[in-house]
Amino acid sequence: MSFLSNLFGGKSKTKVSTPGESIQRLRDVEEMLTKKVEFLEKKRDEELMIIKKNGTKNKRVSLQALKRKKRIDKQLEQIDGTLTTIEYQREALENANTNTEVLKIMGSAAKALKQAHDNMDIDKVEDLMDEVREQQQIADEISNVISNPIGFQNDVDEDDLMKELEDLEQEEIDKQLLETGETEPLPEVPSAEPVKKSKCPTYVDSFTKMIFNFTETPGSKQKDDDELEE
């Protein structure tokens, strides 16, 4: 019965390939056709060399080679169209396969998210957050109480403390100034005024010069004149 069904065009069970398998088969066909194109291009170059070699000298050989070249060109044109169609179909399958995988992942993620939310109750979440805020408020109040100073420190006036601090600083500065004055005494100020040197001759100078001229003898003066002439 199955033989008759197959013979007269009955439906036969065929295994449907997955997108990944179809993509791989299309790639295999592309590779095969690409190799065939390389082979035909090589044959066409050989026929072209025969045509150029014989030319019009051997018309029969040249015409046969030219016919073979024409058939090769037609095959190359057909294969080029087939490769374009296969490439387009392969790209479409790759895009569809990518979209399918993305949808599967998104569906799995949505199910996982739904399962995670099934174990949560919005009312319980709100109650939990209220409890967290309440405990945080209690912790802040405890921290404020602990950090608040106790004892006599609250009764001390801050202005009085600042004044006492300034007095202590001034006392330390005065002490340093006194110590500096004892180790390095200042020079004494002169009491008498300095004597100014006069440019005019005094009475003593005139008297001394007069005595010197009086004691000088004529002989000594003549001797000095002779020495000057020599």
Tens of pLDDT, residue by residue over 126-179, are 888 989 999 999 999 888 888 776 654 555 677 777 888 888 888 888 888 888
List the single range of 60-69, 93-102, 154-163, 219-228 with lowest mean pLDDT.
219-228
For every residue of 152-177, DSSP letters joined together read GGGGS-HHHHHHHHHHHHHHHHHHHH
User: Alpha helices, DSSP H only, in the chain?
Assistant: 2-7, 19-54, 59-118, 122-147, 158-183, 203-215, 218-229
Within 10 A of 79 (CB to CB), how many other CB atoms are there?
A: 15
pTM over the 0.85 mark: no
pLDDT of residue 38: 94
Q: Residue 81 carries which side chain, given as an amino acid letter?
A: G
Please give the structure tokens belonging to residue 207.
């008297």
Q: Which two tokens stand for residue 11?
A: 């439906």
User: For the residues 5-17, what does the mean pLDDT come to?
Assistant: 58
Distance separating alpha carbons of residues 224 and 230, to the nearest angstrom: 10
Whether domain 17-113 has CATH 1.10.287.1060: the reply is yes
Whether 10 and 73 have beta carbons less than 8 Å apart is answered as no
Model confidence at 207: pLDDT above 70: no
Cα–Cα distance measured from residue 161 to residue 53, given in angstroms and rounded to the nearest whole number: 118
Domain boundaries, the chain: 17-113
Contacts for 37 with CB less than 8 Å, ≥ 6 apart: 76, 79, 80, 83
pLDDT of residue 17: 76
pLDDT value of residue 160: 77
Residue 230's pLDDT band (cuts 50, 70, 90):
very low
pLDDT of residue 204: 47
- Give the pLDDT mean for 178-184: 66
